[in-house]
Amino acid sequence: MPFDRRPGERLTRFVFDSGQLRATAPRIKHSAFMPPTSGKLSIFWTSDLGDEAVWGICTTHVAPLRGKPVLARGDFNSLVVYAQDLRVDVDGIPDPRHANVVGWDMSSTRTRLQALKLAEAAACILPG
């Protein structure tokens, strides 16, 4: 079954490292979208959720694992993922809305370009 219930679901990546944010403007750097060695970039499917509920996912499921406060989140459209020949794999752990961006070529310089495209498409939202 395809991930998208309708074309262009909203996805969210939470940012905890100040080095992954641009100092001059609220923008997220591509390093926030670089996949770990597992090739699974952790995200959440946040379509149909209000702002408070999205931050609630972070407070409940992500921040405790990181042990530090969230600095921002990047909301982006799933169509950007597909345009980069990547996929969204919903695993539902630790929350039913948890997913991973997968399909990275971990041995290629293309990975950086894919991360750049995701970062460019992401709206940087600060906690508020």
71 in any annotated domain = yes
2 in any annotated domain = no
Cα–Cα dist 104/115, whole Å: 10
Encode pLDDT of 70-94 as tens digits.
999 999 999 999 999 999 999 989 8
68 in any annotated domain = yes
88 in any annotated domain = yes
Encode pLDDT of 17-55 as tens digits.
999 999 888 899 999 999 999 999 999 999 999 999 999
Q: In terms of residue numbers, what domain contains 83?
A: 15-125
**Total domains in the fold of the chain:** 1
Length of the chain: 128
Cα–Cα dist 58/50, whole Å: 13
Predicted TM-score (pTM) of this structure: 0.92
